Structure 1
Amino acid sequence: MSIRNFFKNRATNAAAESFNAKIKSFRNALRGVRDVEFFLIRLYN
């Protein structure tokens, strides 16, 4: 079904997969951090 969907509508789940990869990367960067609030501030800037 999903293969047909791609050829009919050119719809993929690439955006969702990219978002999941960013979350995974963020979780790996957070590993070992004690002050989460400071880490989030640094990440935001």
Structure 2
Amino acid sequence: TMQNYYETILNYFVNRETNAFAESFNAKIKAFRAQFRGVGDIPFFIFRLCKLTV
């Protein structure tokens, strides 16, 4: 596993950057999808998803 994530781990120590923002955003999308499960109106779903990211 260390070989797979070697560059990501080094990036934290070099730039002090993590992927926390991306992980948080993915969690928000996952929770949003769970809330709107079964909604058949795709344009409305995409509209609400865009409003989530603002």
Instruction: Please indicate, yes or no, whether the TM-score normalized by the shorter chain is above 0.5.
Output: yes
Greater RCO (Cα-Cα under 8 Å, separation 6 or more): 2
**Percent sequence identity over aligned pairs:** 59
Q: CA deviation at 1:33?
A: 4.3
Q: Which residue of 2 aligns with 1:12?
A: 18
Structure 2 unaligned blocks of 5 or more: 1-6
Aligned pairs, number:
39
Moved over 4 A (4+): 33-37
5 Å matches for 1:3-42?
3-33=9-39, 37=44, 40=48
Structure with bigger helix share is: 1
Provide the rounded CA distance (Å) in 2 between the counterparts of 1:33 and 1:2.
Answer: 37
Structure 1 unaligned blocks of 5 or more: none
Provide the rounded CA distance (Å) in 1 between the counterparts of 2:41 and 2:30.
Answer: 19
